[in-house]
Amino acid sequence: MARFLRTDLRNREGSHEALDDCVSVLLSLADRWSCGKVYFVVGIGKMKEGSVVGGRGIRSAFTLIELLVVIAIIAILASLLMPALVVAKLKAQGTYCLGNMKQLGIAWSMYSQDYSDFLAPNSDLGNEGKDFDNPAWVAGTMSYATDPVSLSEDTNMDLLIGADYAKFGSLGPYTRNPGLYHCPGDKSSVTADSGTYVRVRSIAMNGWVGYDTRDWLQPPSPPYYKLNFKMPDMVNPGPAQTWVFIDEREDSINDGWFALDMVNQGSLAEWVDVPANYHNRSATLSFADGHAQARKWQDPRTMPTLNRGVPVIKGLACPNNPDVSWLQSHTTGLAR
């Protein structure tokens, strides 16, 4: 009996050694327990009659061994497929995020064309995108706070695309889709008495790019790092090498202004704001020439442990971190 079933499985095209070993063990149990009959598997969910021992009639019900065989096969297939499915899901999210970044890049470029090459404003001194003194490409600040004002900032899509914010520099009239501002890999939410709500934004803009961005941290003497107010300012690096938007970690993101220390490099490097790594250790970025790409981080210090609900430590020293160096080289350059 065991020999008959095992031979049939080995003759099936594409049979797996692990499957054969599993069936062999179960059939040895069947021989030891003197089961009345067995079936051999011709497909998941389909059984064919094998043999009858001792003249017993064929029954329509499954035996325990038959069920164990099917369960074992399903378990083996699941163990083979699950890692591939996880990777496929991450790739799908990354592709979706790339599409969002490209559309944000198009909206950003359209704004510049409409405003004589001036880039979409990018401020961070409070009340961003809500008044003429603090124009910004997006309004609202992400946080884990649960007071009414913070909950509104975290969940109000009007702050992203609402017509009332267009006069303060919002890209909303060009994007018109709040989903562009949220990475599918970002699972952060806020909880209030009325329920749990997804936070609406996981994207930030290069703090060295944008009209009305501020002179944040500079060397003690010239040459200084450029603030890119207009498209022609993007020289060394040029538009194809200057990133505009980036995925930011849920425990780092606040306003729409991504802070990167350009002065302290190499052994003095640090992370101020921290990029995301939602897509298999990668973040998605859009660039000033319109293309978008995923960047896979190399240094574990770029991916500190996420404690959901607890803000990450800012100003984290990361000497000689290749990820910091790469982002610095694609952020801005020294004025000439």
CA atoms within 13 A on the CB side of 119: 25
> Is 335 inside a domain boundary?
no
> Based on the domain organization, do 12 and 128 belong to the same domain?
no
> Based on the domain organization, do 264 and 215 belong to the same domain?
yes
Neighbouring-strand partners of residue 270:
317
Nearest to 171 by CA among 227, 218, 115: 115
> Is 238 inside a domain boundary?
yes
Report the pLDDT value the prediction gives residue 93, as an integer from 0 to 100: 73
> Based on the domain organization, do 153 and 278 belong to the same domain?
yes
Is residue 37 a contact partner of residue 87, using CB atoms and an 8 Å limit?
A: no
> Based on the domain organization, do 261 and 139 belong to the same domain?
yes
Q: Does a cis peptide bond (omega within 30 degrees of 0) precede residue 239?
A: no
Nearest to 191 by CA among 159, 144, 158: 144
Report the pLDDT value the prediction gives residue 94, as an integer from 0 to 100: 72
Both tokens assigned to 57: 């009639």
CB neighbour list of residue 195: distance below 8 Å, 6 or more residues apart = none
> Based on the domain organization, do 195 and 251 belong to the same domain?
yes
> Based on the domain organization, do 110 and 165 belong to the same domain?
yes
> Based on the domain organization, do 245 and 112 belong to the same domain?
yes
> Based on the domain organization, do 271 and 212 belong to the same domain?
yes
Nearest to 129 by CA among 215, 232, 189, 211: 211
CB neighbour list of residue 7: distance below 8 Å, 6 or more residues apart = none
Count of structural domains within the chain: 2
Sort 291 into a burial class: Cβ within 10 Å, 0-12 / 13-18 / 19+.
Answer: middle
> Is 285 inside a domain boundary?
yes
> Based on the domain organization, do 57 and 87 belong to the same domain?
no
Report the pLDDT value the prediction gives residue 22, as an integer from 0 to 100: 52
Q: How many other CB atoms are found less than 10 A from the CB of residue 306?
A: 17
> Based on the domain organization, do 43 and 133 belong to the same domain?
no
> Is 77 inside a domain boundary?
no
Report the pLDDT value the prediction gives residue 95, as an integer from 0 to 100: 83
> Based on the domain organization, do 52 and 135 belong to the same domain?
no
Q: Which domain holds residue 207?
A: 83-329
> Is 76 inside a domain boundary?
no
User: Is residue 140 classed as helix, strand or coil in its secondary structure?
Assistant: coil
> Is 156 inside a domain boundary?
yes
pLDDT along the chain (336 residues), means of 10: 40 49 54 46 42 47 82 86 72 83 97 96 93 96 91 95 96 96 92 87 97 90 94 94 97 96 96 93 95 96 91 92 98 92
Report the pLDDT value the prediction gives residue 62, as an integer from 0 to 100: 72
> Based on the domain organization, do 240 and 165 belong to the same domain?
yes
The span from the CA of 269 to the CA of 274, in Å, is 13
Q: Look-up: residue for tokens 């990450």? A: 312
C-alpha distance from residue 46 to each of 27, 66, 75, 121, 141 (Å) = 18, 11, 17, 64, 57
